[in-house]
Structure 1
Amino acid sequence: MGNETPAMTVWVVYARPHQAWRRQVDLPAGATVAQALAASGFTQAFPDVDPWQAGVGVFGRRVQPGHSLSGGDRVEIYRALVFDPMESRRRRAAHRARKSPGARPPRTPKAPR
């Protein structure tokens, strides 16, 4: 019966274009996201990647380095977007409109009054 802090397990993940990197890390209760990143060895595995540039989150919600973790959390290191999602959607919609017969022409924006 010592003064041991109960341990918790979290995952640290980083999705690359063709492969996912993930590490299971055992930390003391109350550990932070920054401590999880340090314990995972992420900076050694990817010395040219700043995890805070594109953001870090827990289960899809962006968090700060001091965010406290709970057992079973998944710390996600995000990558910068390669394309603009809205522009990609517009291109797909225009492509579908060209392919389907009898499709309406694209709408033109209204002129200012």
Structure 2
Amino acid sequence: MLLSNVPNKLTVSKTLLHLSVIYAPKAREVHETKLLLNVPCTVLQALQQSGLLLRYPEIDNLDVLIGVWGHKAKLDQYLRDHDRVEIYRPLRVDPKVARRERFVRQGSRGAGLFIKTRVGAKAGY
């Protein structure tokens, strides 16, 4: 038996990818699936192997964005070892509107930049 034919730690890691697929169907609810796939692997193959497309049919929609480590990715993009595929939900509220409503609820005293104010300064400055 030749030693070159025996799989070792280095050859196995070069032929398999350690991936994780992340999806958050709701706020504060995150599903992470760890995968071990063969080397030429695309984003689409990782999504199919994760089982999340079957569990959450709303993902199988053209409106859903996919990313790898926070960067937008195409379905035919090849993955590297230890990549994290992220499935993004569409926005339900315009971020500007949400911020404005939050500011109205919290007021100028409890809103981010305006917590610390100078004595006698106007609200919001």
TM-score band (shorter)?
0.7 to 0.9
Listed as ranges, the matches of 1:1-113 within 5 Å are: 1=5, 6-17=15-26, 18-50=28-60, 52-95=62-105, 96-97=107-108, 103-104=122-123
Return 73-82 or 96-105, whichever deviates more: 96-105
Q: Could you tell me which runs of 5 or more consecutive residues in structure 1 were left unpaired when the two chains were aligned.
A: 106-113
CA distance in 2, matches of 1:67, 1:78: 17
Instruction: Give the TM-score normalised by structure 2.
Output: 0.68
| AA aligned opposite 1:103 | K
| Percent of matched pairs sharing the same residue | 30
Q: Could you tell me which runs of 5 or more consecutive residues in structure 2 were left unpaired when the two chains were aligned.
A: 7-11, 115-119
Which structure exhibits the higher relative contact order, with contacts defined as CA atoms closer than 8 Å and separated by 6 or more residues? Answer: 1
Q: Deviations over 1:1-26 (max 9, x none)?
A: 39x87111100110122421111111
- CA contact 1:8–1:29 (8 Å) conserved in 2: yes
Higher helix residue share: 2
Q: Deviations over 1:64-110 (max 9, x none)?
A: 001111111110011011211112223334553388886358xxxxx
From the superposition, tell whether residues 54 and 47 of structure 1 become closer, same or farther in structure 2 (CA, over 3 Å): closer
1:111 — aligned with what?
none
The root-mean-square deviation of aligned C-alpha atoms, in Å, is: 2.8
Number of residue pairs matched by the alignment: 104
Instruction: Give the TM-score normalised by structure 1.
Output: 0.75
